[in-house]
Structure 1
Amino acid sequence: MSWICCCSRRAVNRGAAEAAAEISKAANVARVHTTSDGTDVDNRKPAAVASASAASKPAKGTAQGAVLVELFTSQGCSACPAADLLISKLGRGDTEDLGLDVPVVVLAFHVEFWDYLGWKDPFASSLWTVRQRAYSQALEQDSIYTPQVVVQGRTQCMGSDVDALLSLVRSAPRFTTTDIQANVSKPSETALQVSLSGPLRFKVDGYTLDVFVALYENDHVTDCTKGQNKGRVLTNDFVVKGLEKACSVKDISARKTVTGKVTFNLWEGFSRSKCGLVMFLQNSSTKEIQGLQTFELPDNI
């Protein structure tokens, strides 16, 4: 399987003029920076002491039937900043000017395979490349590329192609918000634990359903000094800092209670106000998303 950078001449099935037009269109997205809960940067609360624990409530503005949009991006690719800005806009719900009335939840996975071009993406992980490859196989693609968006685990397009992305979001199947609840604790200064419990709304028959939890962070600003984006100030939101499988279920009836627990390693500078959680249900084989829920981190974390 090959790698394709949509900012290079190696982009498949796209002429240079077409790609440039798409990138230019996406670059018009406003560069607005907020924390995950709208808190002013200067007034953020410090992280709570270890052993804090509380039930996590659904995030403000979370609506039923949200569509999950996953961006695979890299600070080392010159085509990605436009897609990053678009994803930030969608994630904030700032979509009125786009004519989009479908609720969207976004996650940005930074991949590492363009680090050799001169700039090492500080948020990149080979684990996210593995996830992107799994989507490529499920969607029967010959290569992986950046920026790429995968919508509801079912379809994909170039991450800076506004019209294509909006079309995929509008046509994606939507599922009622789950009844699964989250309890979030901080057993130590370097760990965040999330315990899940609640009933599924549907029957799982003949396949395995994975329950994942993602921890993301907003409000990153990076001065890029090397590579294709040299001299640019890069902004990134909804950056996935960790993705863990809470449990897997198979052949269970509707309303059956599922439980699971995940632990995330925290990083220097962790701030509750910049972070959030996304729990989603994914078919293990087809990779299709079958439901999701977002959670705020409790104030005492």
Structure 2
Amino acid sequence: MKQVMMPAIGAVIVLTLLSAVFANRVSASKKQTRTNNGNSFAVLELFTSEGCSSCPPADALLARIQTEAGNKPIYVLAYHVDYWNRLGWKDVFSQPQYSKRQYQYSQQLPSQVYTPQLVVNGQTSCIGSDESAVTNAIGDALGNGTTASLGIKAQLQPGKANFTYEVTGNTGNNQLLIAVVQKHAVSKVERGENEGRTLSHVQVVRDLQAFKLRDGKQGAASIHLPDGFNTQDWELIGMIQDPETGVISAAARASL
């Protein structure tokens, strides 16, 4: 790559201007976060498929984001859609309801239906393998606070989890969604566009259930858990979402 050397004086001026712009952005971001109680978060919903040759780079990018997120309020959810199944390989993680969820987003955003598509907080979307677009979307989400919050506590029972939840803020007619998430999975693809490849997945959504919020914004319910569920390899992620607009106003991991 050809490098262009900047004159020393020009470089100082440019760096000074960049520093001023960065400082202003940081200040504005902090001010906005304080105004909105600082409850910012980013829910990353990736619509993907083992039958799509463009999807593995998006899966890899989300895996890295998941690893680097640490304690940040970033929630990664990978939905394997089923409309690729007819093209030579049936994705064992795919479910019709995930395709339906993506089609619903296509009406709400609006957007086209494609893989890999990433939807952030139910409000924006981009190509899931476009690192620059994904990074910007996460930054925007974490820079915008919210007045709503969600807390979930769950107790494991044989084959199910009993949980309680508490919601604050103006949630209107929103729903509580609980995603049952398998943190890691590996699959060897024998046909289709990824024939012969061994694919690694993170944050695979194995079930997604909706619950009506009760009056008082506190309640209890239960959700079925798949065989093999354990606290090390699986987790439960909750979201407060407006079913009409698709906007997600709060999210949290369940305390197991």
Unaligned runs of 5+ in 2: 1-37
One-letter code aligned to 1:81: P
1:103: how far off?
A: 3.9
Unaligned runs of 5+ in 1: 1-62, 96-100
Does 2:252 align with 1:293? yes
**Residues 152 and 255 in structure 2, CA contact (< 8 A), matched pair in contact too:** no
One-letter code aligned to 1:223: K
Moved over 6 A (4+): none
Does 2:169 align with 1:202? yes
| Aligned counterpart in structure 1 of residue 79 of structure 2, from 101, 109, 117 | 109
The equivalent residue for 1:178 is 149
Matches within 5 A, 1:104-183: 104-141=74-111, 143-172=112-141, 173-175=144-146, 178=149, 180-183=151-154
Partners of 1:151 and 1:140 lie apart in 2 by 13
Partners of 1:168 and 1:281 lie apart in 2 by 19
- 1:203–1:82 CA distance, 2 compared to 1 (3 A): same
The equivalent residue for 1:21 is none
Matches within 5 A, 1:1-301: 65-93=40-68, 103-141=73-111, 143-172=112-141, 173-175=144-146, 178=149, 180-186=151-157, 188=158, 191-198=159-166, 200-204=167-171, 207-248=172-213, 256-267=216-227, 269-297=228-256
Q: Is the helix fraction higher in 1 or 2?
A: 2
Q: RMSD of aligned C-alpha atoms?
A: 2.2
**Residues 247 and 260 in structure 1, CA contact (< 8 A), matched pair in contact too:** no
Count matched residues.
Answer: 217
1:171: how far off?
A: 1.2
Q: Secondary structure of the residue that 1:208 maps to in structure 2?
A: coil
Partners of 1:231 and 1:174 lie apart in 2 by 44
Partners of 2:66 and 2:148 lie apart in 1 by 17
- Per chain length, whose mean CA-contact separation is higher, i.e. which structure has more relative contact order (CA < 8 Å, sep 6+)? 1
Partners of 1:258 and 1:94 lie apart in 2 by 29
Q: Secondary structure of the residue that 1:109 maps to in structure 2?
A: strand
Structure with max Cα Rg? 2
**Residues 67 and 174 in structure 1, CA contact (< 8 A), matched pair in contact too:** no
- 1:258–1:134 CA distance, 2 compared to 1 (3 A): same
- 1:283–1:85 CA distance, 2 compared to 1 (3 A): same
- Identical-residue share of aligned pairs (%): 29
One-letter code aligned to 1:197: Y
Length-normalised TM-score, structure 1: 0.67
**Residues 147 and 159 in structure 1, CA contact (< 8 A), matched pair in contact too:** yes
**Residues 193 and 264 in structure 1, CA contact (< 8 A), matched pair in contact too:** yes
- 1:88–1:296 CA distance, 2 compared to 1 (3 A): farther
1:265: how far off?
A: 4.0
Partners of 1:183 and 1:233 lie apart in 2 by 34
